[in-house]
Amino acid sequence: MYDVIIAGCGPTGAMLAAELRLHDVRVLVLEKETEPVSFVRIVGLHIRSIELLAMRGLLERVAARGRQRPAAGFFAAIPKPAPECLDSAHAYLVGIPQPVVVDLLEHHAITLGAHIRRGCAVAGFAQDDEGVTVELSDGERLRTRYLVGCDGGRSTVRKVLGVGFPGEPSRTQTLMGEMEIGASQEEISAVLAELRERDRSFSVGPFGRVVVPAEGISTAPPTLEDFQKQLRAVAGTDFGVHSPRWMSRFGDATRLAEHYRVGRVLLAGDAAHIHPPIGGQGLNLGVQDAFNLGWKLAAQIRGWAPEFLLDTYQAERHPVAADVLDNTRAQMELLSPEPGARAVRRLLTELMDIEEVNRRLIEKITGIGIRYDFGGGHDLVGRRLRDLDVQHGRLYDLLHRGRGLLLDRTAQLSVGSWADRVDQLTDPTAALEVPALLLRPDGYVAWVGCDQQDLEAHLARWFRPGPG
């Protein structure tokens, strides 16, 4: 019997498996595809995802395979510079092929002891008070304490679970791919300049990425001829595109699962939410779901979770996804060629010259503006903490094991009997404006103060001692 079976070995599933293995949870990941995807799709890792990778010691490996870019121009592709002094030591974006991200996270999970089986799809399941019986497409049955669906927007787990997926269906579709482009950069720039005000849903950009409106709604995989035809219709030229590396179509469907958990079955990533890819938030949102869920599910399995802890997964992540759905809806409207939408875009472009407006939108898309509701208190409580210089290194280096952390400048506090799940750093020189704070394993501030009794109350809230 496994502790957790994860359906889907994309970025969300692989990250969740690794997070669970940090706590010695027995994990099996089932992936229906027999081989990793072969197409090279470039994705952008946003600031918060970069921070999470740094917290687990993975950032150097990711950075070596990607390209660092400014944290700018995300919101509806409005070309504004990155705000000054963003509250992060990693205030940039990393452009990286999605298969590389999956490979790195999968290797990380395997190194930690996760088991991954390819060519295995979940066909059904039934849960009871003790666990979940999972049926595979070949008829095999497996037993697990918990099942997590990380199996994408058409999630079998969500459908079998019977969770509603309300929202809006696709009204339009877009072709997106990466391919060789025969036209010169001068020709491309001239066409883009001519079309910029008339049609912002079209682009030919870095890495040979081509984005062009599709003709109608279809479920068929696009062909190179589809791209050439639509490019000629929109731009008057197909730019000599050839030798595609990957091609796909996506719609503007926007949906959010009504529940992230029903009993012993949970949802994460695209299985819980889908939205247009504008702003590049999808992969990041899923990875951050996994980071939030991992330590909580592990605590439940290891026997030290407070009664409410697993329910905080939906309470915290569902509103975040709802906000992403809203901002992608807004961005899609701003790409419309209709006069009203163009007028709003011009107004917003002007407003983004105000530093705080630009900062707010960038913080929203990159995930560093999130504040979870922990019931009030100091302004830091419920927020992520940036990487800091501390004695003998960096703060995030102390979070590699996925444990909580007490950062104490007073030298008067102690984690006491919670030392088996919460580390402690006494550092009077730490660059903090508070005497001490408690970090959850996902890097969010759970408590700020200087009183031992108050600290212990919050340690008990988030890290209740197990039996004995």
Q: Which residues does residue 180 pair with via DSSP β-bridges, in sequence order?
A: 242
Q: What is the CATH number of domain 389-462?
A: 3.40.30.120
Q: What is the pLDDT of residue 201?
A: 73
Rounded to 5 degrees, φ, ψ at 35 are -130, 150
Q: At what angle do helices 282-302 and 312-334 cross, to 10 degrees?
A: 180
pLDDT at 246: 85
Q: Where in the chain is the domain with CATH 3.30.70.2450?
A: 173-251
pLDDT tens track for 29-43: 999 998 877 666 778
Least confident of 106-115, 170-179, 300-309, 360-369: 170-179
pLDDT band at 219 (very low <50, low <70, confident <90, very high): confident
Query: What is the per-residue pLDDT across 129-142, written as a single tens digit (0 to 9) for each?
Result: 999 999 999 999 99
pLDDT tens per residue across span 443-461: 999 999 999 999 999 999 9
User: Band of the pLDDT at 468, cuts 50, 70, 90?
Assistant: very low
Residues forming CATH 3.50.50.60 domain(s) in the chain: 2-167+255-366
Instruction: Please report which confidence band the pLDDT of residue 392 belongs to, taking 50, 70 and 90 as the band edges.
Output: confident
Q: Tell me which CATH code domain 2-167+255-366 carries.
A: 3.50.50.60
Residues 6+ apart with CB under 8 A from 288: 48, 49, 52, 317, 320, 367
What does the pLDDT average to over 22-26?
A: 98
- Give the pLDDT confidence of 397-450 residue by residue, as tens digits: 999 999 999 999 999 999 999 999 999 999 999 999 999 999 999 999 999 999
Average pLDDT over residues 143-162: 98
> Which of 3.40.50.300, 3.10.20.30, 3.30.565.10, 3.30.70.2450 is the CATH number of 173-251?
3.30.70.2450
In 252-328, the DSSP E strands lie at 254-256, 261-262, 265-267, 273-274
Residue 466's pLDDT is: 52
pLDDT of amino acid 337 = 83
pLDDT at 39: 60
Residue 197 has what pLDDT?
A: 65
* Half-sphere exposure of residue 161: CA atoms within 13 angstroms, side-chain side: 27
pLDDT tens-digit map of 273-311: 999 988 899 999 999 999 999 999 999 999 999 999 999
Mean per-residue pLDDT for 313-341?
A: 94
